[in-house]
Amino acid sequence: MILKQKTLLEVLPPDLDRDRLPKHVAAIMDGNGRWAKRQGMPRIMGHRQGVYALKDLLRCCKDWGIPALTVYAFSTENWGRPLEEVEFLMTLFEKVLRRELAEMMAENVRIRFVGNLEALPTSLQEEIARSMEDTKNNQDVEFTVATNYGGRQEIIQACREIAKKIKTGEIEPEAIDEQIFEEHLYTHDISNPDLLIRTSGEMRISNFLLWQMAYAEIYVTETPWPAFDREAFHQALIDYQQRERRFGKVGKKI
């Protein structure tokens, strides 16, 4: 029997330490529009190509043993884009979800959406609910998609929830601590990211996971999202493994 030979980068590259991989990677998928323009194509083609990059990164997380991936698909500010682009993105999310559900089941991926989902088109909300329900027992990769998401808005809605509970006497103001606060965030049952990757060069967090990113290592690459492949991810992980994570304490090297 001829076994399928795993090609380079299908398995964890040998220069990465399996025990020091991030457990949760977050990504700001920037540069789709610029990538498309550079190829002489309309901006929306960049988003379409971006889906392929995302699919491969998700599969790579599974292949290399990284259990959680969170991506920023649509921010609360993105509604300010031209109407055709917003409509294209909403339709794209819906189509991709419908098309990829079977594969997420086969790959044992659990998908979740975070953000103000009620403001999304109803048909997309239905597709989101279905994909979350169908994949809820899958365990290989926790895949979270931030859609109509804003970090400040998330913090405000957590404050509102807590304030309501204080009003009814369910929580004492003095009892509020980091754990109680985190329990009221969209991400209450998801770990905080260890590594944030931002493609296309900008050095900003752009209102993404503001609370959760407190101790994340930030890696910015000039590569635009549609061109972010396994080799680019490999480079990000090499960079991550060279960092010393101190969490506010004194480092070992000093």
**Contact call for residue 112 and ligand FPP (CB under 6 A):** no
Which pairing describes strands 24-28 and 68-75: parallel, antiparallel, or unpaired?
parallel
Site for ligand FPP in 182-241 (CB under 6 A): 200
Q: Mask 79-108, x = binds ligand FPP (CB under 6 A)?
A: --------------x--xx-----------
**Contact call for residue 33 and ligand FPP (CB under 6 A):** yes
Distance from chain centroid for Cα 134: 20
Q: How far is the CB of 117 from ligand FPP (least distance, A)?
A: 13
Q: How far is the CB of 20 from ligand FPP (least distance, A)?
A: 28
Task: Give the residue with the Cβ less far from ligand FPP, 114 or 145.
Answer: 145
Is 30 catalytic? The answer is: yes
Size of the site for ligand FPP (CB under 6 A): 17
Q: How far is the C-alpha of 134 from the C-alpha of 70, rounded, in Å?
A: 19
Q: How far is the CB of 33 from ligand FPP (least distance, A)?
A: 3
Q: How far is the C-alpha of 238 from the C-alpha of 243, rounded, in Å?
A: 9
**Contact call for residue 59 and ligand FPP (CB under 6 A):** no
C-alpha to C-alpha distances, 36 to 81, 90, 190, 219, 227, nearest whole angstrom: 16, 19, 33, 23, 11
Reading the block at residue 99, the tokens are 């098309």
Distance from chain centroid for Cα 80: 21
Catalytic residue chosen out of the listed positions 19, 32, 56, 78: 78
Q: How far is the C-alpha of 143 from the C-alpha of 152, rounded, in Å?
A: 22
**Contact call for residue 143 and ligand FPP (CB under 6 A):** no
**Contact call for residue 57 and ligand FPP (CB under 6 A):** no
Q: Which of 21, 27, 31, 109 binds ligand FPP (CB under 6 A)?
A: 31
Q: How far is the C-alpha of 87 from the C-alpha of 44, rounded, in Å?
A: 10
Reading the block at residue 144, the tokens are 């979270």
Is 229 catalytic? The answer is: no
Q: Which of 145, 146, 195, 197 binds ligand FPP (CB under 6 A)?
A: 145
The answer to whether the CB of 103 falls within 8 A of the CB of 131 is no
Instruction: Dump strand ranges (E) for 120-233.
Output: 141-149, 195-198, 217-220
Binding site for ligand FPP (CB under 6 A): 29-34, 47, 50-51, 54, 73, 78, 93, 96-97, 145, 200
- Supply the residues annotated as catalytic: 30, 78
